[in-house]
Chains A and B, each alone.
Chain A
Amino acid sequence: EAQVTQNPRYLITVTGKKLTVTCSQNMNHEYMSWYRQDPGLGLRQIYYSMNVEVTDKGDVPEGYKVSRKEKRNFPLILESPSPNQTSLYFCASSLDGLNTEAFFGQGTRLTVV
């Protein structure tokens, strides 16, 4: 089944403790991206990647890192999480980033205390 898989689904952590949210797609998509969703603010893009070893900042990249060592995986790294990073995070992938449908993962609800 074609899908985008994120892990974990839920995570509660403490301020400053490094964490990684994994994202994997099995559709051989080139374009992958991370979003955060907050009430009243919609979906805001954090980082995106057009292909392996190519990553670019989205609208709200501060406090986040990403890597794209393999085509299928695009992990989101929070080196030193803070409470303002408490949010619902979505990973998404699309065929080539040239104006094609984005397929979203099931979301990761992160709470930083």
Chain B
Amino acid sequence: GENVEQHPSTLSVQEGDSAVIKCTYSDSASNYFPWYKQELGKRPQLIIDIRSNVGEKKDQRIAVTLNKTAKHFSLHITETQPEDSAVYFCAATKGGDKIIFGKGTRLHILP
């Protein structure tokens, strides 16, 4: 079955700098890779997603890249702000099937 590894588990960056979170997956049939943000005490919410027929997707300060050959995908946050502090989860699925999440990355934005 699918397995998703997420790194790092904790990340601290200076406000204004960039943050990168990486995930690898094991099932080459997976074709949908969402990223969720969970603020303290809140529910997870989708921030960006990418499908396997696309290599990169961008939405303002957030971008996701996908390398199908290497089976890894990454979240990039530029010009980080205090409100970016949260736990971020990657996930992988092949549609109509289980959704497997990574263990999460706690991102701290330092003033």
A99 is an interface residue with CB less than 8 A from chain B? yes
B101 adjacent to A90 (CB under 8 Å): no
B51 adjacent to A43 (CB under 8 Å): no
Known: A42-B89, A99-B51, A99-B93. A104 touches B44 (CB 8 A): yes
B78 is an interface residue with CB less than 8 A from chain A? no
B96 adjacent to A50 (CB under 8 Å): yes
B43 adjacent to A90 (CB under 8 Å): yes
Cα A107 to Cα B39 in complex, Å, equals 13
A33 is an interface residue with CB less than 8 A from chain B? yes
* A-B residue pairs in contact (CB < 8 Å), sample of 26: A35-B101, A41-B103, A42-B89, A42-B101, A42-B104, A43-B44, A43-B89, A43-B101, A43-B104, A45-B100, A45-B101, A50-B96, A58-B98, A58-B99, A59-B100, A97-B96, A99-B31, A99-B32, A99-B49, A99-B95, A101-B34, A101-B46, A101-B49, A102-B34, A102-B36, A102-B46
Cα A33 to Cα B101 in complex, Å, equals 13
Minimum CB–CB distance for A90 against chain B, Å: 6
Minimum CB–CB distance for A88 against chain B, Å: 10
A48 is an interface residue with CB less than 8 A from chain B? yes
Query: Which range contains the number of B residues in contact with the other chain?
Result: 20 to 34
Q: How many residues of A contact B (CB 8 A)?
A: 24
B45 is an interface residue with CB less than 8 A from chain A? yes
B103 adjacent to A42 (CB under 8 Å): yes
Interface centre among B43, B49, B104 (most CB of A within 10 A): B43
Encoded as 1 (CB less than 8 Å from any B CB) or 0, chain A from 33 to 71 comes to 101000011111100101000001011000000000000
Minimum CB–CB distance for B48 against chain A, Å: 10
Q: Which of B85-99 contact A (CB under 8 A)?
A: 89, 91, 93, 95-96, 98-99
Known: A90-B44, A101-B46, A101-B49. A40 touches B98 (CB 8 A): no
- Contacts A50-B96, A59-B100 aside, 12 further interface pairs with beta carbons under 8 A come to A31-B96, A40-B103, A41-B103, A43-B104, A59-B1, A97-B96, A98-B96, A99-B32, A101-B49, A102-B99, A104-B44, A105-B43
